[in-house]
Structure 1
Amino acid sequence: MKKIMLFMFVLSLICFQNSQVFVFGQSELTFASELSDKIADIVNDEMVRSDIPGVFVTVVSEDGVIYQNGFGYSDKSKYSRVDEKTLFELGSVSKSFTGLALLKLEAEEEVRLTEPVSTYIPSIQFTYNGEKIVVTIADFLSHRSGLPFSTIATIPETDSENALVQTVDNLNNIALAYPPGEKYEYATINYDVLGLVIQKVSGVSYEEYVRTNIFEPLSLNETFIGVTNGQTAEKSKGYKLAFGQAKEFSSPVFAGNNPAGYIISSGNDLTKWLTFQLGLSNTDYLDSSIIASSRQINVSDKDGLNYAAGWFVFDQGERIYHGGNNPNFSSFVQFYPEKGIGVGVLTNLNTLGTNNIGFRISDLLTGDTTFQAGSDENQLIDFYATIIFLLVMLLNSFLLIKVIMIAREIKKGQRTLKENISWLQMTCKSTFSLMIVGLLVYCFHQVPYIFLGGLNWSFLFVWLPYTIQAVYFGSLLLLLLLFVYLSMLLLFPKKKI
């Protein structure tokens, strides 16, 4: 019954292309137009909710591309519109390409998933409870290596040719959070390790191997990795939130994170990727068993969430999904192999709104009404950080006024340096004030490490809204003013009347 309903649905849709409907018959045209309007309503709703500058949406079915459309701007300052050739960074959707490349090497018997990663990268070692421990390729593929999420903060800011090696070297002798294979914890750097395995085994750079073995055979001519030299389409600007608005943000280069988060692609090529994943394009180049392996569950989590080779797998493979986020872009890919439906979304803002768009469109196409749009974490962070910043600036203003008042009292002679105070006493009092403020600064710097699982402020500056930086520097100014205020109170008491 579901297949019949899906077939009737597809017949009534055929065919959207760039939001133009090509169907015969007034009733089908009306229905398809209504559905197109519903998709546009979903996108526009989430763009407003999450302040997303630009979005591209693609929907494919067994009959081909049934919907493609760009919304908003790739460059707000130039009013450049998003279209099917606009390039976006894919974030963690990049992992599906890396996973497929690795499985191709496995099929060629160049890699064995059950082998320790040290077989291919001899310099790397891991420990658990103080003892060296073996971590297999399969453990990295399924995010069960034991590496914690916080290892993302160890990825160096660099665009050097040796960036991937540097990134993996930073993990050497790291203490694992769990025994390998025991527990799922998403750690993006797992796929950087796999990228280096691909590089070591193939004898060429990770970027070159994926380009010649994945992109070119699949005619992904508008897909690149990292720096987009030779690109044939315009790359969108990236944005992040600042006091409730999306502001342009040029993220640092993390070339060592290319295999996990920095493949760049267009709406055209995302459509091709979905078509390939659904088995609707020529897959002779890659054996079907390799594609099937990329969705094969290695270990099952108790909550039913399973991770294969760059894909989250739900309902025994009925639904395959992955979202992607990096500091200033987001993406969403979801497809239903049995139903022959796929949805892709690209945006130029780090936002959960991208997932909301994708899930809502998927639900619209499949009739599933269980999905509820989630709150955008960066929106919440920006909102609360704005409130904190305003409070901090009020306190700064209060302390500054108090410092100015004390300075005026000193100038008028109402406050004088303590009588008979020696330089040693003055130094001790100043040192005491400095120690108090220094302790507060230290505690302030430890906040993300303690409460966010080992992250640091540098990481937060890159990944979170600009508002976090405003809070950080506003707080440091507050502590500086507090030091000045305490020092003046201790050293310049009021004269007794």
Structure 2
Amino acid sequence: MRPFLLVVALIAAFPGAGRAQDVLPGPTPASDVSPMAPMGLETALAGLPRLVESTMVRSGVPGMAVAVVREGEVVFRQGFGRRDIRLPDPVTPETVFQIASVSKSISATVAAITISDGALHWDDPVSDYLPDLQLSDSYVGAHATVGDFFAHRTGLPFAAGDDLEDIGHDRDQILDRLGQLPLDPFRVTYHYANMGLTTGAEAVAAAAGRDWADLAQEKLFGPLGMTATSYRHADAMAAGNRAVLHAYEHGMFQPLYDRDADAQAPAGGVSSTVDDLAKWMILLLADGQWQGMPLIDPAVLHPAMRMQIVNSPGRGANDRSGAYGYGFNVETTAGGRPIRNHSGGFIKGAGTHFKLLTDAGIGIVVLSNGAPVGAVESIAAEFMDVVQFGRSTRDWLTGYESLMAPMFDPVGDLVGQAAPQDPAPAGPASRYLGSYDNAYFGPAEVVEGPEGLALLLGPRPLRLALQPWDGDRFAVAPLGENQPLGSLSSVTFTIEGDLATALHVQYLDANGLAHWRR
């Protein structure tokens, strides 16, 4: 999945990961925030159904579910629209959605409970629990902590390992290959990486001696009664009341694809309902207490929900900056109040978001079965505006739509290029046929079928038709979670004598590793 802020953040000093018992000095006093609007929550709740319905009309998103909590109580829960545009079945508060990267905040909560139980610390080196894990810098590999991986500050590149998931590798295969990726500066570079956070979660699971999905059930889902929540794709598919993914292609939402995120499940593989997520928000807003019993040590939860690294620095002196904790976005509202949130999105058809106005004890979660066009974020933002200020401060949907639009841009060096008018002919098929090796991506094979040459990648394998472009250069049109409709990339063969000895796949070459040799 693509993150929503494609930003590199370099900061001059790093506050450190901190053990659970550490306390940061000098908290900002709560007394300096702007006063809440009288009856703000009541006004926001009264207008919420109309806000959701109008946003769905404007955006075209086919189905949504929303829940709101305040000080330990669910004060709103409702479904809107349809689970599948082909069928009349309505969305309800019990409808199961794939929640994409909101999973990261769920995973941070599972980790916090496990840490509270004494299995490990946020600042334990991951190498203590995953001794076979290697990174390209041996110092980082030995010293990067659980918190570093949850905060995306290890120096792993943006979207590290997503390219391997795209061609069908599983979690273990991907983690085994992260050591081949180049690293940027440790603990001063923010690069959003699903497989990085997944690495941190795997260390937590190893410390507890559990499979990650089983650990989450034991530590969080079971105790809170989150009976419809799972990290396993098969469980989502088995739900009778399930929202179908709707991709946004050709200007409309369509139920075209499945999205199996098991490989990156701690980062993006949770399925859940707004009823279940309301319980989770209540736990967080109660500082880790559930029904009067402590489940998370506040000294463990607080580091996850406070700034660990700047992830969206303001472009100018008058701009506010954003930050990231351990699986949570850490921000401040225009009224000076702390707010915690995260978005999730699959371009194959899911958009999700939650916000916690922590000092007011108010949380909202919005789940949708439409690709991430900004609808869920705009609903949560306008709702929290009304809660705080009594009115919306801007047209949030228009702003978020423009922010999300680049996620749908096709990728590849041939996008927008006209095919050569007088191309050199491709060589005979025998020049290209055969197997090629790559230590990072694994083997590739060029085969010939009734429709011509094709490139096979990954263990499943992924089949890409090779369309002649110019001589020994071909075009492929990948279509995946990170390759929207219209993507077009070159595949170029190196020829020695009359035989191809190597090939290069441009759309996979973000880190300079997409070269295969015969």
| TM > 0.5 fold call | yes
Equivalent of 1:468 in 468, 473, 486: 486
SS in 2 for 1:236: coil
Q: How does 1:63-142 map to 2 (within 5 A)?
A: 64-128=73-137, 134-142=143-151
Q: What is the letter of the counterpart of residue 374 of structure 1?
A: Y
- Whole-angstrom distance in 2 between the partners of 1:461 and 1:159: 11
Report the Cα offset of residue 97 of structure 1.
1.8
Equivalent of 1:251 in 251, 258, 270: 258
SS in 1 for 2:189: coil
| Aligned residue in 2 for 1:349 | 370
- Whole-angstrom distance in 1 between the partners of 2:229 and 2:245: 17
Q: What is the letter of the counterpart of residue 124 of structure 2?
A: E
- Whole-angstrom distance in 2 between the partners of 1:331 and 1:131: 33
Q: Does 1:260 align with 2:267?
A: yes
Change beyond 3 A, Cα 1:120–1:159: same
Change beyond 3 A, Cα 1:184–1:155: same
Q: Does 1:437 align with 2:457?
A: no
| Aligned residue in 2 for 1:310 | 327
Change beyond 3 A, Cα 1:233–1:337: farther
Change beyond 3 A, Cα 1:100–1:158: farther
Between 77-86 and 283-292, report the one with greater CA deviation.
283-292
**1:157·1:252 contact (CA, 8 Å) conserved in 2?**
no
- Whole-angstrom distance in 2 between the partners of 1:305 and 1:125: 30
* Alpha-carbon displacement from aligned partner over 1:171-222 (angstroms, at most 9, x marks no partner): 133221x122011121122211022112322222100000111111111112
Q: Does 1:203 align with 2:192?
A: no
Change beyond 3 A, Cα 1:132–1:75: closer
Query: How many residues were matched structurally?
Result: 394
Between 242-251 and 275-284, report the one with greater CA deviation.
275-284
Change beyond 3 A, Cα 1:154–1:198: farther
* Alpha-carbon displacement from aligned partner over 1:348-385 (angstroms, at most 9, x marks no partner): 12212221222122212222626743225665776999
- Whole-angstrom distance in 1 between the partners of 2:99 and 2:468: 46
**2:98·2:271 contact (CA, 8 Å) conserved in 1?**
yes
Q: What is the letter of the counterpart of residue 349 of structure 2?
A: N
| Aligned residue in 1 for 2:53 | 44
- Whole-angstrom distance in 2 between the partners of 1:8 and 1:364: 9
Equivalent of 1:225 in 220, 231, 237: 231
Q: What is the letter of the counterpart of residue 306 of structure 2?
A: Q
- Whole-angstrom distance in 2 between the partners of 1:131 and 1:256: 23
| Aligned residue in 2 for 1:406 | none
- Whole-angstrom distance in 1 between the partners of 2:345 and 2:325: 19
Change beyond 3 A, Cα 1:206–1:165: same
SS in 2 for 1:235: coil
Rg larger in structure:
1
> Any stretches of 5+ residues in structure 2 without a counterpart?
1-30, 315-320, 423-466, 492-518
- Whole-angstrom distance in 1 between the partners of 2:110 and 2:324: 17
TM-score scaled by length of structure 1? 0.69
SS in 1 for 2:136: strand
Q: Does 1:192 align with 2:192?
A: no
Equivalent of 1:322 in 331, 342, 347: 342
| Aligned residue in 2 for 1:418 | none
Change beyond 3 A, Cα 1:268–1:233: farther
Equivalent of 2:358 in 302, 321, 337: 337
Q: Does 1:291 align with 2:301?
A: yes
**2:147·2:200 contact (CA, 8 Å) conserved in 1?**
no
Change beyond 3 A, Cα 1:245–1:390: farther
**2:97·2:243 contact (CA, 8 Å) conserved in 1?**
yes
* Alpha-carbon displacement from aligned partner over 1:421-457 (angstroms, at most 9, x marks no partner): xxxxxxxxxxxxx99714653xx66xxxxxxxxxxx6
**1:155·1:254 contact (CA, 8 Å) conserved in 2?**
no
* Alpha-carbon displacement from aligned partner over 1:225-266 (angstroms, at most 9, x marks no partner): 123439665111111012111111333423121000011101
* Alpha-carbon displacement from aligned partner over 1:391-444 (angstroms, at most 9, x marks no partner): 97xx99x99xxxxxxxxxxxxxxxxxxxxxxxxxxxxxxxxxx99714653xx6
Change beyond 3 A, Cα 1:391–1:72: farther
**1:243·1:382 contact (CA, 8 Å) conserved in 2?**
no
| Aligned residue in 1 for 2:380 | 358
Cα RMSD over matched residues?
3.7
Change beyond 3 A, Cα 1:217–1:290: farther
**1:83·1:267 contact (CA, 8 Å) conserved in 2?**
no
**1:54·1:72 contact (CA, 8 Å) conserved in 2?**
yes
Which protein has the bigger helix share? Answer: 1
Report the Cα offset of residue 322 of structure 1.
0.7
**2:161·2:174 contact (CA, 8 Å) conserved in 1?**
no
**1:100·1:290 contact (CA, 8 Å) conserved in 2?**
no
| Aligned residue in 1 for 2:512 | none
- Whole-angstrom distance in 2 between the partners of 1:233 and 1:377: 34
Report the Cα offset of residue 4 of structure 1.
7.3
* Alpha-carbon displacement from aligned partner over 1:62-104 (angstroms, at most 9, x marks no partner): 3722322211111111121110010001111111121122223
TM-score scaled by length of structure 2? 0.67
Change beyond 3 A, Cα 1:313–1:36: closer
Q: What is the letter of the counterpart of residue 340 of structure 1?
A: G
Change beyond 3 A, Cα 1:109–1:382: closer
SS in 2 for 1:225: coil
| Aligned residue in 2 for 1:425 | none
Q: How does 1:449-488 map to 2 (within 5 A)?
A: 458=478, 461-463=480-482, 465=484, 467-468=485-486, 472=488
- Whole-angstrom distance in 1 between the partners of 2:353 and 2:322: 17
Q: What is the letter of the counterpart of residue 207 of structure 2?
A: V
